[in-house]
Structure 1
Amino acid sequence: MTGPAWFGYGRNAQHTAASTIASQDLVRIAWTTPVDLAPQYTASGALLTHYGSPVVTTNNTVIIPVKTGASGGYRVEGRNGASGALIWSANTDYATPPRNWLPPYSPLLTAQGRLYVQGAGGKLLVRTDGDAASGTFAPQVFYGAANYNANPAAFDASVFINTPLTADAQGNIFFGFQVAGTNPAGLVSGIARVTPSGTGTWVGVAAAAGDASIVKPVMNCAPALSNDGATVYIAVNRGATSATQNGMLLALDSTTLATRASVALLDPFLGGPARLSDDGTATPVVGPDGRVFYGVLERTFGSHNARGWLLQFDAALNPVGVPGSFGWDVSPSVIPASMVPSYTGDSTYLLAQKYNNYAGVGTGLGLNQLAVLDPGASQADAITPSVQVMREVLTILGPTLDAGSTTGRREWCINTMVTDPERKSILANNEDGMLYRWDLTTNTLAQGIRLNAGLGQAYTPTWVGADGGVYAISDAKLYAIRA
């Protein structure tokens, strides 16, 4: 079985999350496997851990990152997409950066079929064939193998890749890294580029931003590439506390990493700097017309019911249009307007995302939704009517009541959700333990399959394999769903 690959977070370098193959019906769980061998639940039973997006090769091998210890330790597995049978397994030496919530550990496939994962000390670990039962990971070091090999322990303790990886069409890899302490090469937190041959270049975030107060790339923020591959977009912030987690969105030349543009990320309601939380997984998303969308948390927590905002910019990072009324911990999916037959507006594409309204935060009543938004049209925000926001084209309420509530609904627990243009539908999992197909022609949850009893958890991705099989993560397990 061969078909389209799922390359990484949001499928492609623009993170649009659109499948290029029709997804199968949600009829049965074909197989399941753990993505965490030591999940850490809170006292209330919640699982506040982000899990990385697995990838799928053109030969339908699902490549899965597996957390092996309580606070880290990772291996990578290749499994047959149809049966779940283990094809290969390899341990990695990746160490997580200083953090609150556990960040996602995310593999990446290139268009050339190479597999990359993060290693310790800022290394990339490269496998030439993700399908083969035999093979090893070889290291690539963006600041030079000789530097690393002279003192591995010093680099392992101080240099951490803190974002997912992104590849361009030629197989060049981009990522953000955080430096915590001194190191023999004098590295500071920055953004790196590594060619297929392993040649690395990098730029410090403070230099790229032209602001000495900028200290690192935003945790978990996968770089995005413009449609022509010439520009890299990534968010950077000023620190680890809520008071300093504000910053900028950068546009860098994808060859030289020279800064092409930068913009301060501001709160549309309160004014001043929005919060770029290291507990989130929002990444820049690039639309077909080159617009860049990036989600932020509001400046004062709760002033917008902890929904944040989805900001939009043109390719040169000039603010354009109005914000979306939700931005926290989500990357919107880009869909052609034709996916919504009832749509009569002028935009050629729309945005789909979770649209939670958290109970007990600000005026939130727990009426958690999914939404399709029009980035080219506006309406008054329901929470802060003085702010114009992207027009709601379709919304759908979560189907399951929250425990003890007569109105509130369980949250949609996705940070990127796969869209299926061929079937005009969206696939999203919910904290009620179900995976749903949202049919945009009827605005109904047309299909659903139970994964487990449900729980509160950090947001996870959904994706589609080379055979149209559907995948979701819930309660520390990967579920493969087939017709």
Structure 2
Amino acid sequence: MFETNSKFRSRKGLALTSLATLVVASIVVACGGSGGSPVVTNPGNGTGTGTGNGTETASGIGNTTVVGPPWLNYGGNAQHDALSTVATQAFSRIVWRAPVDLAPKYSAQGYLLVHYGSPVITAKNTVILPVKTASDPVYRFEARNGADGKLIWSENTDYIMPSSRWTPTYNVNLTPNNRVYAPGAGGKLFYREDADAGTATLKNIVFYGDAVYAANKSTLDNAIVINTPVTSDAQSNVYFGFIANAGNAAGLSSGIVRIGADGKSTNVSIATIAPGVGVAKVATNSAIAVSKDQKTLYVVVNDNFALGLRQSGYLLALDSTTLALKSKVQLIDPYEKGAANISDDSTASPLVAPDGDVYIGVLEKTYGTHNARGWLLHFNADLSQTKTPGSFGWDDTPSVVPANLVASYKGSSSYLLMVKYNNYERAGSGNGMNQIAILDPQVEQDDKISPVKTMKEVLTMLGPTPDPNVAGGFIEWCVNTAAVDPFTKSVIVNSEDGILYRWDLTTNSLVEKIRLTSGMGESYTPTAVGADGKVYAINNAVLFSIGK
């Protein structure tokens, strides 16, 4: 998924001649793709218990046989490094599948412009996924047995989605103490104490007070909206961003919330912690990251979306207990030397690397000056030093690759980064040579598009499927966070051709693949790893479980 319909328009021979045209076009875009009609719309879960419309009877029986590492957050953990701590299973078959959207809304061109949240997976191999249940978004979250996909429990929510050009991400979160959270209306969080239990009481927390919410529920449900994934730290504290309409009954301004493992809440407005810099809120869809020592939060903030204007923003470092500002840095386009575009259509979230450095993907200041690839910005831990950028950042959170996974690497960096590396074909620029890449963040090379020094390419992998609509081009990779398996020295990555691939970093080859659907243009999606080593990928509104 990329920001404007430039690739699709070029297929139809239509020229985009002005920035205004580009902005208007951005309302109707997907991430590119192979076209074709959707082939899997509303399946059951593949176990014989689905009805075709996503309705099942919960078994009420939790998992008892598997104990392994959990997948807690977007990108696996609070640093979003997407590094698996269990070996992944072979791509022998689709073990089960379950819809994440019971009423997908396709564009007139057949694209699916919806971001879907990552599953989270408990140590006992319970897979918890958010599910959109109606065309006007209504959400539930449900738990399935990772072994066979059978429904264990399901909970409805009253969440109201923030406005966006594309449908934003609805996410769930799992804490280390096995509590599962999901957003509700009015800024409240729903939760269950034991994510594996077949029977449990659904509770909720209102961070600004139950009494205020109860007295003003009818207005606050629409006035206060959680607009980011929930992130949990190692102590089971959780963090999220919210949008507050002016004059709301709770007296709130858009900001950030911390809910402690003890249930105590703290919130602070963006206007208070970053006054006078033109930002208004946490960037929609951008998950808060937590430093390795658990002392610092990294939060992307931007101005409010307005059609025709490009959003700009900052990266903030906050005290993880008090939410006080420790430092901030404006997110700058390294080529144009002006404010980068921090779009609410992106799911790019901060990555905290093993050395404490922080990475965040942005779009370029002026659309198209870097082939709509954006930039991967790079900072030290206290944000005082801006380091070498990467040559792609749009709607992508990089994954950590320990350097010893890449046999051909002879450099001195202890870790490398796996990134999407598409080069979108559009009128006058780009070539459709869409890649994924392993980058060395400590070594520079000349950028191939602009006169900027960028992170050195260690490995690249071209999309394997030619794009029939782009001469010489290849269908793009379609992932916003890709799971890395250090045991098999591989990366699990989705493509818009409808196939899930295993990229072997020893041989730099695609050694396994399994077809999920016929392929289509859609918003970028995550891959994840279960406690038993099954891998999970989303394609055409369906979560697929792949393994032996």
TM over 0.5: yes
- AA at the equivalent of 1:278: D
- Between stretches 92-101 and 248-257, larger displacement belongs to 92-101
Cα distance in 2 between the residues matched to 1:136 and 1:361: 55
- AA at the equivalent of 1:238: D
Q: Deviations over 1:449-478 (max 9, x none)?
A: 000100000000000100000110000001
- Match of residue 301 from structure 2: 236
Report SS of the residue matched to 1:295: strand
- AA at the equivalent of 1:104: T
Counterpart selection for 1:328 from 375, 381, 394: 394
- AA at the equivalent of 1:373: L
Cα distance in 2 between the residues matched to 1:348 and 1:361: 40
Report SS of the residue matched to 1:423: coil
Cα distance in 2 between the residues matched to 1:473 and 1:136: 29
Q: Deviations over 1:202-242 (max 9, x none)?
A: 11112211226211110101000011000000111112036
Displaced runs of 4 or more, over 3 A: none
Question: Would you say 1:437 and 2:502 are equivalent positions?
Answer: yes
Query: Where does 1:185-264 land on structure 2 (aligned, <5 Å)?
Result: 185-211=250-276, 213-241=278-306, 243-264=309-330
- Match of residue 278 from structure 1: 344
The question of whether the paired residues in 2 share the 8 Å contact of 1:306 and 1:361 is answered with no
1:53 CA displacement: 0.5
- Match of residue 367 from structure 1: 433
Report SS of the residue matched to 2:212: helix
- Match of residue 126 from structure 2: 61
- Match of residue 180 from structure 1: 245
1:244 CA displacement: 4.3
Q: Deviations over 1:58-85 (max 9, x none)?
A: 1101001100011310011110101011
- Match of residue 300 from structure 1: 366
Question: Would you say 1:125 and 2:190 are equivalent positions?
Answer: yes
Query: Where does 1:32-431 land on structure 2 (aligned, <5 Å)?
Result: 32-211=97-276, 213-241=278-306, 243-360=309-426, 362-384=428-450, 386-431=451-496
Question: Would you say 1:20 and 2:85 are equivalent positions?
Answer: yes
Structure 1 residues 349 and 412, CA, compared in 2 at 3 Å: closer, same or farther? same
- AA at the equivalent of 2:399: S
- AA at the equivalent of 1:378: E
Cα distance in 1 between the residues matched to 2:406 and 2:472: 28
Cα distance in 2 between the residues matched to 1:333 and 1:387: 23
Cα distance in 1 between the residues matched to 2:338 and 2:385: 15
Counterpart selection for 1:466 from 531, 536, 539: 531
Cα distance in 1 between the residues matched to 2:177 and 2:504: 34
1:405 CA displacement: 3.2
Cα distance in 2 between the residues matched to 1:237 and 1:437: 35
The question of whether the paired residues in 2 share the 8 Å contact of 1:205 and 1:215 is answered with yes
1:191 CA displacement: 0.6
- AA at the equivalent of 1:357: N
Structure 1 vs Structure 2 CA RMSD: 1.0
Cα distance in 2 between the residues matched to 1:234 and 1:143: 21
- AA at the equivalent of 1:408: G
Q: Number of matched residues?
A: 482
State the identity as a percent.
Answer: 54
Report SS of the residue matched to 2:186: helix
Cα distance in 1 between the residues matched to 2:79 and 2:225: 24
Q: Deviations over 1:332-388 (max 9, x none)?
A: 00111011011011110000011000011551011000000000000000000x100
- AA at the equivalent of 2:80: H
Report SS of the residue matched to 2:487: helix
The question of whether the paired residues in 1 share the 8 Å contact of 2:502 and 2:513 is answered with yes
- AA at the equivalent of 1:215: A
- Match of residue 18 from structure 2: none
Cα distance in 2 between the residues matched to 1:16 and 1:285: 6
Q: Which runs of 5+ in 2 are unaligned?
A: 1-65
Q: Which runs of 5+ in 1 are unaligned?
A: none
- AA at the equivalent of 2:433: L
- Between stretches 240-249 and 269-278, larger displacement belongs to 240-249
- AA at the equivalent of 2:321: T
- Between stretches 93-102 and 5-14, larger displacement belongs to 93-102
Higher strand share: 1
